[in-house]
Every structure is written in C-alpha cells, then in structure tokens.
Amino acid sequence: MDLIILVIGVFLAIVALIFGLLILVDKKEKPSQKDSVELTLAKAKREFDVIVANQSASLEKSLQNNADKISKAFITSLEQVTQKQLSEFSAATQSLLKQTVADLQATAKENDAATKLAHNELNALTAQAKADAIKKVDTQIAEIMIGYMADIAGNIDYQQQKDYLFSSLEAHKDALKKDIEASVK
C-alpha cells in the first residue's frame, strides 16, 4: 500500500512537474512570442521612430544643411556681392568722398573768390543800377526842364539863337567838310 501511494505520489509529482514545466514552457513560450512580436513591434516602432527620427533628423539636417548651405551660399554670395559692392562702393564712395572733399575744398576756396567777385559784381551792378536810376531821374528832371524851356522858349526867333547855331556849326566844321567832300567824289 505504501508503495502504491508512493508510486501514485511520484506519478502525481511528475505530472505536476510536467504540468508545471508545461506551464512554464507555455509561459516561457508566450513571453518570447510576445517579446518577439512586441519586440518586433517595438523594434519596428523604434526602428520606425528612429527612421522617422532619422529621416526627420536627416531631413532637418538636410534642410538645415541645405538651408545653411543656401544661407551660407546666399550669405556668401551676398557677402561676396556686398563685399564687392562694398568694395566698389567703398572705393567709389571713397573716391567720391575724396572728390567731394576736394571739390568742397576747391569750392570753399572758390567761394571766397566767388564771394568776393559776387560782392564786387553786385556792388558794381548796384552802383550801375543806382547810376541808371539817378540818370533816369536826371533825365526825367531834364525832360521836364527842357520841356519847360521849350514851352517858354517856343517863340525864340532865329536871331536870338543864331549865335548858338553858328558856334555849333563852327565846332563841327572840319567833320562836316570831310563828310561832304567824301560824298561828292
């Protein structure tokens, strides 16, 4: 009896062990499967993410790189252009500045002379204008006077002004004679 119980017990133990093992195996098999899938999934996801990330990163990088490149190129070009322009501009500006300074200096010198000349000319013009104005006034006064004299002297006969006539003719006698002799030749 004891033996039978012992055998049954061993058998049960073995069965239990088998079950246990089986269970364990199942368990072990499930996680690996699970792991593999998940792993795969995860891996895939990770890899995908990585890829995406990498792609993105690479894209970004590429973009960045490109942008950098573009930027750099642009900037470089710009810089180059700018530099060139700046150089040229600088050169031109410098030249212009030099010329302007020279001109200003010359103008400053000329201005003194020009100012003096302008002053002199202005003074001369003013003096001339003044003289002309005075002359106009004088002429107007003279016209009035002469007109007045003509009014009061309108009845002066030939005898009263004969001396003036002959003295005037005498004063121009030589010129008259030369003129007449030339006309009759």
CB 169 within 8 A of CB 176: yes
CB 92 within 8 A of CB 86: no
Min CB(179)–other proteins separation in Å: 5
184 binds other proteins (CB under 8 A): yes
Nearer to other proteins, 92 or 153 (CB): 153
133 binds other proteins (CB under 8 A): no
Under 8 Å CB-to-CB from 176, ≥6 apart: which residues?
Answer: 169
7 binds other proteins (CB under 8 A): no
Q: Which helix (H) or strand (E) holds 156?
A: none
Token duo for residue 170 = 């005498």
Say how far apart CA 170 and CA 165 lie, in whole Å: 9
Min CB(183)–other proteins separation in Å: 5
Say how far apart CA 113 and CA 111 lie, in whole Å: 5
Footprint (CB under 8 A) of other proteins, residues 153-172? 153-154, 156-162, 164-166, 168-169, 171-172
Q: Which stretch binds other proteins (CB under 8 A): 10-18, 23-31, 84-92, 133-141?
A: 133-141
Token duo for residue 80 = 């180059």
For other proteins (CB under 8 A), the number of binding residues is 36
Min CB(162)–other proteins separation in Å: 7
- Residue 104 phi, psi dihedral angles, 5° rounding: -60, -40
User: Applying CB under 8 A, which residues contact other proteins?
Assistant: 135, 137-139, 141-142, 145-146, 149-150, 153-154, 156-162, 164-166, 168-169, 171-173, 175-177, 179-184
